[in-house]
């Protein structure tokens, strides 16, 4: 079952693409949430650069939560765990960034990820999709694994010249420049911003600073 | 008594299977709980990959606690300690994942583990049972230790061809793909979901964010 | 005075047995408590495996506190320090486990340890006494040090064949399989469970989750 | 798109200049904020000296927040993440200090950074701009990247003698000695101090020490 | 002034004795306190064994605070810093244990240390004074430094045979077995236990567990 | 501008003297404060001994805050950052101790440091000024940098014999033994103790232990 696409759309599970000395492979990113205090756990024998790419994915989502349809207060009462099986294989690099981001957004919005989409691309804090290496090996692995659509960084579009025709014919390859394009392609439903009033924001800030959401007290902080 | 199955069903104690250069061995996973604040302690000279597999087991259980019959609030007021004797032998690898998960579920539900069942398999955050190495040595150790039933990953079923007939005759070998199959086989009683109302969830979230479970305050967070 | 039994029964001080390349030695385990917030300090130039054996001892005691006669709430308002003099000698291994456990129970119950008892044995989280190495050297050190009774793991009983007769005649050697046998032999008074009502437990859990012990609030967590 | 200036003014994104063995390069500093408790995250494969330069930038801003137009209370309820793509390239040195500082001020004031300005310079806690290395390579990279204006430390003005004329003609090179000059040149709007009364300060201090903003209680702290 | 006894009795400053390859030396232990939350800082280029000896000294004092005349609640609202100048010389070993303990007790009781007393000895958590090395070099340094009285472990009394007569005549050498003997010799005033009622203890425990000192609430924890 | 004295008196900025293999240099110590919770940040590529010397400086100031004119409660609601530019040069050793201490006192009292004073000396927790190395190189750097007055440890006075006459004539060299002499020479105004009543102290202690400044509650802690 390793190296094959999932059999159904899943919440919080995204198919990334890995590149090793012996070729490309599918990489499953799994994210689950549980009641907690805003901790982020990452496991799967991840090296520092991949760990940092999960931190960037998390901050990207937290910093634009309202636009993505996620209540900011959710981060105070939820722990998130991102795991990349299998547990024994060391993994590194930033190129799973857009897959990490998509897994977190899918998890927190309850919006399933299309099971036949795979993706590769570094993501910046502003949501820009940055180029990656090993495109050829990754596309071969996607084809082998039954993937139908692969999202790649637009800056890698020039590398498609070296990709065999049968691969390009067997896959729908979509170049993207921004994480919102990734969400649009990979999630089964569009993302809708939530309403988040000034009162909501004041209540959240009061909760974060350990002070009661007392309108008078809030008042006295401002004049 | 090392290398032998327990004499009675136990809560929080599961028999795993280890594989070293000198052969296979039974591995006892012990879990106890105590009043606390949600800390997880792991001991037994465990290396990083095995430590991570306990984290994954823990998050799997926490993220689907209600379905497993565990109150989510229990994680706030309980510390859990997972230990793998003996204390002097270094241990590593993800293949005790399903045993770790079963130990934690048994502990938190008070549901004893069948004493004549052993198991080997990595577990993903979504509960998928992933393949392991050293199947032959592990099965030999199970037979020697008086085990009757061994749960193995379905993806390892193909390795059974190389296993001696006397081992396959002396053990009931059960391939599994999902952690729920493991619970069904290894625990003495079925797991039953608890009821967990929106009020329960709101009270828990209020407790986690340090704010009172005041319905009005909760209201003002939402409109 | 090093290498000699204590002159009187002491609370929180247990005589263990160490085994080095140059022979066996008595090892004093000292435990003290002080008002605090549940911290456990361990000192005495201890290596990782011995530090882990103190963690296991501590969790064993915490997880069965009521049965041992210790109020679970005590762990919230007490810090415990376990020290193994002398401070300059590195120490490692799990074989002081039963001595660590006994020191902590003696300390928290105020039940003195018999001064002429020494002990060696790893302990599991479930209280099983696991085998150790260096039995001969340890028994010689016990005899030299004026010890009268030595508790050893039952699984080491087979090693008694190699022990000189004068040692076996000079010491009362007691094989044990469970930590409760250790408590019965080493403490001067029997351990008596305390009463711990559901109200006590609810008050403790409320304190641990930072919420008031308000029966109504507690109610709302449950229906 | 790497190595090119942004297409529009952005909040929290600043173009720095890097210097490696193989030449100069543009370096994007990205900063985002999210509801939180005052944590600062830094990623991008940064080595210790660059991490420290972000800490200095942060303290500079926090210590003069009111003058820069930022409410000090904002630091209690906001987490900030500074990231420097790409994630796989190690980066070090203090010379991005003024760019880091500008990114944080832009983020917290909502004041966009001019897209055609790049900058290089270490910054001290007092806002002094300290000299850097690799000026020639950095200016070449700025020119290549479509940058119009480059801010450099005044102490590096002497190095301009060695810079080719076409570079000096293609760029507006502005020597600066103080971080306020950097803000004036790089941000699209002037910075305006906020009003911050003694009552605001007392409310903030009460929040920080976990005590209520009770004027009587505050009084009793002072006479 | 290094290597010479202090000119007046001081609170929180004790003269220890160090032993290096090049001979013995006086070692000043300095302790200060400040309002805080119970942190212990240790500086002076101290290696692990010496750091641990300060932890043991601290726990010894905390665990018998009432007997020594120190309010246990003081540890919640005080930070303590122990420093051993000079800052550039690495220092290790447990033999400053009794000096560390004396410095902390002097500091917390406001009881000055006699300026002409030096001391060497490891201390156990129970207050036993354990033997040390380098006695001869240490006594020579004490004599050179103008010290009048030196406290040594009784187990080192046998080493006095090798000490030159002029040293033994120039110093009052006092063998000690228990830390209370050290306090009696080194402090200028006797130590007097404080009164510490059950109400005091309940108030302290309530403060430690974050619960109000409400007698009814306390009651409900016990029946 | 590096290696030259400041052009005006500054709060929280002190000129120290460094000594490297290639000669002496001026070293600026910068300290800023911001609303916070009592954190101390130190940056500037500092090695362990210099970091420890800042901790000692901080504790010295905190432990005698009232005498220096600083409200002890200020440490609960303020974070302090000490930075030593430039950020790329590693720095070590305890000899900037008196400069660190002076920077912190200047910062917290708002008392500017005389711009033409430089200083070198280790400081002990009790405020003793301890000897340093490299005096000649440091004095040469001070002269070169336009410094008028240099404070040195009295124990280094003997080294003045080797200093060239022109250096001794160009600088006012002041030997000091105690940190209070340093403050008197380096700060522009005398330090004045503040009033700090028992009520102030009780309110601070209540704030530190998380309990309300309720006089009755305070009472019940004492009888
Ligand atoms: Ca594997
Ligand atoms: Ca596009
Ligand atoms: Ca063993
Ligand atoms: Ca199956
Ligand atoms: Ca020793
Ligand atoms: Ca038995
Ligand atoms: Ca890259
Ligand atoms: Ca200028
Ligand atoms: Ca020195
Ligand atoms: Ca004696
Ligand atoms: Ca530099
Ligand atoms: Ca003088």
CATH number for the domain harbouring residue A21: 3.30.230.10
Ligand 8 centroid to Cα of residue D122, in Å, is: 15
| D1 located within any domain | no
Q: Would D126 be classed as within a structural domain?
A: yes
In a domain, residue C221? The reply is: yes
Q: Which of A49, A72, A221 sits opposite D73 (nearest CB)?
A: A221
Find, among E2, E27, E17, the residue nearest to F130 by Cα.
Answer: E2
Are C106 and C6 a contacting pair, CB within 8 Å? no
- Kindly report, residue by residue over A57-107, the tens digit of the pLDDT: 999 999 999 999 999 999 988 999 999 999 999 999 999 999 999 999 999
Assign E212 a pLDDT band (cuts: 50, 70, 90): very low
Q: For the residues B190-216, what does the mean pLDDT come to?
A: 78
Q: What is the pLDDT of residue D166?
A: 95
* A33 and A142 together in one domain: yes
pLDDT at site B2: 55
Share of chain B above pLDDT 90, in %: 83
Classify residue D190 as exposed, middle or buried by CB count within 10 Å of its CB (0-12, 13-18, 19+): exposed
- Statement to judge: residues A131 and A208 lie in one domain: no
Same domain membership, residue B74 and residue B181: yes
Average pLDDT, chain A: 91
> What's residue F151's pLDDT?
98
Whether residue B40 sits in one domain with residue B142: yes
Chain position carrying tokens 């084809």: A143
pLDDT of residue C48 exceeding 70, the answer is yes
Average pLDDT of chain D? 91
E41 and E95 part of one domain: yes
Q: Determine which of B12-21, C19-28, D166-175, D202-211 has the lowest per-residue pLDDT on average.
A: D202-211
- Interface residues of A toward D, Cβ cutoff 8 Å, are 48-49, 52-53, 55-56, 59-60, 62-63, 65, 72-73, 75-76, 93-94, 97, 122, 124-126, 128, 130-131, 155, 177, 204-205, 208-211, 217, 220-223
Does residue D221 carry a pLDDT above 60?
no
**Position with higher pLDDT, D83 vs E1:** D83
Residue D51 lies in a domain: yes
Q: pLDDT-based confidence at B219, cuts 50/70/90?
A: very low
Q: What is the pLDDT at residue D90?
A: 95
Q: ipTM score here?
A: 0.91
In a domain, F1, yes or no: no
- Give the pLDDT of residue E210: 59
Residue ranges near ligand 11 (ion) with Cβ within 5 Å: F 86, 88
E129 and E49 in a common domain: yes
Mean pLDDT calculated for residue range A186-215: 82
Q: Omega before D86 cis (within 30°)? A: yes
Pick the closest to residue E208 from C204, B210, C37, C210 (CA basis): C37
Residue span of the structural domain in which A74 resides: 13-192
pLDDT band at D76 (very low <50, low <70, confident <90, very high): confident
Q: Is residue F117 part of a domain?
A: yes
Q: Evaluate whether residue E78 is within a structural domain.
A: yes
Residues D122 and D176 in one domain: yes
φ, ψ of residue B151 in degrees (nearest 5) = -90, 130
Residue A6: the pLDDT is 75
pLDDT score for B214? 43
Q: How far is the CA of C77 from the centre of ligand 9 (A)?
A: 42
- The total domain count for chain B is 2
Instruction: Tell me the pLDDT band of A1, cut-offs 50, 70 and 90.
Output: low
Listed ranges A145-149, C72-76, C197-201, E18-22; the one with the highest mean pLDDT: A145-149
pLDDT in tens, E42-97: 999 999 999 999 999 999 999 999 999 999 999 988 999 999 999 999 999 999 99
DSSP string for residues in A79-110: EEEEE-S-TTS-B--STTHHHHHHHHHHHHHT
pLDDT category at B144 given cuts 50, 70, 90 is very high
More confident residue, F8 or E2: F8
Residues F81 and F175 in one domain: yes
Separation of first and last alpha carbons in chain D: 62
Residue C135 and residue C206 in one domain: no
Mark out chain E residues that contact chain C at CB-CB < 8 A. Answer: 48-49, 52-53, 55-56, 59-60, 62-63, 65, 72-73, 75-76, 93-94, 97, 122, 124-126, 128, 130-131, 155, 177, 204-205, 208-211, 217, 220-223
* Cα separations in angstroms, F73 against B7, D121, D208, F192: 62, 37, 11, 17
- Statement to judge: residues A144 and A39 lie in one domain: yes
Both structure tokens of B85: 């004797």
**What integer pLDDT is reported at residue D3 of this predicted model?**
67
Measure the CA–CA gap between F193 and C138, rounded to whole angstroms.
63
Helix axis angle, F97-109 to F179-186, nearest 10°: 60
Residue-wise pLDDT tens digits, D112-141: 999 999 999 999 999 999 999 999 999 999
Q: What is the C-alpha separation between C98 and C151, in angstroms, rounded? A: 9
In this predicted structure, what is the pLDDT of residue F216?
43
What is the mean predicted confidence (pLDDT) over C88-116?
Answer: 97
Q: What is the pLDDT of residues C175-192, one digit of tens each?
A: 999 999 999 999 999 999
**What percentage of chain E reaches a pLDDT higher than 70?**
92
Identify whether residues D173 and D203 lie together within a single domain. no
Segments in chain F below pLDDT 70: 1-3, 210-223
Give the confidence band of C220 by pLDDT, cuts at 50, 70, 90: very low
Model confidence pLDDT, tens digit, residues A16-43 = 999 988 889 999 999 999 999 899 999 9
Domain assignment present for residue D5? The answer is no
- Report pLDDT for A210: 59
The pLDDT of residue C1 = 54
Sign of the torsion angle spanned by Cα atoms A103, A109, A114, A120: negative
Phi and psi of E92, rounded to 5°? Answer: -150, 175
C58, C29: one domain: yes
Query: For position F2, what pLDDT does the model report?
Result: 55
């Amino acid at each position: 079952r390793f190296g094959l696409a999932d059999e159904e759309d899943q919440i919080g599970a995204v198919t990334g693409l890995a590149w090793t000395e012996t070729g490309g492979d599918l990489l499953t990113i799994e994210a689950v949430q549980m009641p907690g205090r805003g901790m982020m756990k990452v496991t799967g024998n991840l090296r520092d650069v991949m760990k940092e790419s999960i931190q960037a994915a998390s901050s990207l989502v937290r910093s634009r939560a309202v636009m993505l349809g996620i209540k900011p207060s959710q981060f105070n009462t939820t722990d998130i765990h991102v795991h990349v099986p299998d547990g024994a294989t060391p993994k590194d690099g930033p190129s799973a960034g857009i897959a990490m981001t998509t897994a977190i957004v899918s998890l927190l919005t309850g919006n399933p990820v299309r099971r036949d989409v795979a993706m590769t691309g570094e993501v910046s804090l502003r949501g820009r999709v940055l180029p990656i290496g090993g495109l050829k090996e990754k596309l071969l692995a996607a084809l082998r694994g039954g993937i139908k659509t692969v999202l790649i960084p637009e800056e890698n579009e020039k590398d498609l010249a070296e990709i065999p025709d049968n691969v390009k014919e067997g896959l729908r390859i979509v170049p993207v420049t921004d994480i919102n394009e990734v969400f649009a392609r990979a999630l089964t439903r569009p993302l809708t911003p939530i309403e988040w009033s000034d009162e909501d924001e004041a209540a959240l800030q009061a909760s974060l600073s350990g002070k009661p959401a007392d309108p008078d007290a809030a008042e006295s902080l401002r004049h």
